[in-house]
Every structure is written in structure tokens, then in C-alpha cells.
Amino acid sequence: MRTFLLGFIAALVLLPVCALGYFRLGVAETRSDANPPAWETSVMQSAVHASVRRSAAGIHASPPGSLDDAIVEGGRLYLNGCAGCHGTPGKPSEDLSSYPRVPQLPQVGTQYSEPEIYWIIKHGIRNTAMSAYGPFYTDKEMWALASFLRRIDHLPPGVLEGSKAKQGGGGSSN
């Protein structure tokens, strides 16, 4: 029993010392142009997903006047502000430079619900390249984006054409 306790205490001390050494000596890799290992992606993604689910639980979508219009408007905002990192619908794309990798949404879609997507856009995701857009978009714009993103890999016909046609219309019209 005594040996067990001593071992337990030694481990408690050793663990932080090793962690500190690992970071202080610069052994932790920093470059972002490498593929994250599958276990890391899976652990981190499920942690983020669980946290977003918890944070966005009380949020309910404000019903838009017309869902079709909101999706088209969301598409316009997406093409202007998100496609640079997340990919353009219909064009093959791959992110090789951010760590974790930026999801190429037109190809992979999303499992998040609309309130969760709205929450992510507004607040961003820490320790990723996803910054918070709350200061730059109105609530209405973020809900429109969420409506579009929820359906980005199975868009109703005509949506993308509508979004592209509106694209010349400028920055942040409501």
C-alpha cells in the first residue's frame, strides 16, 4: 500500500514536470502544414462538437420571412466571406495550410444544426483558424448563413445561381 501511494504521488509530480519540459524545450511541433493525426482530429472534433452543442442549446432560430430568400442571401454572404477558406461549391478544393484543417464545406457538408452553425459563426472556434464574426455580421446575416450552410452539400436547385447573381450587390446589405 505504501509503495502504491508513493508511486501515485511520484506520478502526480512527474507528469506536470514532463509536460513542462516538453513545452519548454520546444519539442512540441508548431508547423501547421502537416496533417493532424486521426486520433487528434477525432478527439478534438468531438470535444468541440460537444461544447458547441452545450453552448448553443438555448438558442432558437428566428424564423426568416422567407427561407428560400434567406438561403440565397446566405449563399451570397458565403461566396463573399467564407469560400476563401471553406471552398467554393462546385470547385474541388483542399486545405493544406491550416492546422487543424479547414473543413471544405461544399464537399463534406456539416453535422451541426442551424443554431449551432449560427453560434460558431458568431463566436468562432478557439485554437483553430475560425475567428469570431459576431463583430462583422448582423444576426440576420448569420442566420441566413446558417440556413445556407446547413444545406451546402445538398442545395435546392437554383440557390447557387441566385446567390451568384446577387454577389455583385456589395458588402453587407440586409
Partner 1 sequence: MFSAVHASIRRTVPAGLKNPLPVDDESLIAGGKLYLNDCVGCHGAPGKPTSDFGATFYPPAPQLARDGTRYSEAQIYWVAKHGIRRTGMSAQGPYYSDQKLWLLAGFISRITTLPPRVRAGIEEKTH
- Tell me which residues touch partner 1 (CB under 8 A): 23-34, 36, 96-100, 124-129, 131-136
Nearer to partner 1, 2 or 31 (CB): 31
Task: State which amino acid sits at residue 137.
Answer: Y
d(CA 30, CA 82): 25
Q: Which of 142, 135, 102 is nearest to 121 (CA)?
A: 142
Instruction: Kindly state the smallest distance separating residue 6's Cβ from partner 1, in Å.
Output: 30
Instruction: Kindly state the smallest distance separating residue 48's Cβ from partner 1, in Å.
Output: 12
Within 13 Å, how many C-alpha atoms sit on residue 139's CB side? 7
Nearer to partner 1, 83 or 125 (CB): 125
Instruction: Find the angle CA(50)-CA(51)-CA(56) to the nearest 5 degrees.
Output: 105
Nearer to partner 1, 136 or 138 (CB): 136
Nearer to partner 1, 66 or 97 (CB): 97
Instruction: Kindly state the smallest distance separating residue 28's Cβ from partner 1, in Å.
Output: 5
Q: Are the C-beta atoms of 134 and 75 separated by less than 8 Å?
A: no
H-run or E-run covering 140: helix 139-150
Instruction: Kindly state the smallest distance separating residue 132's Cβ from partner 1, in Å.
Output: 4
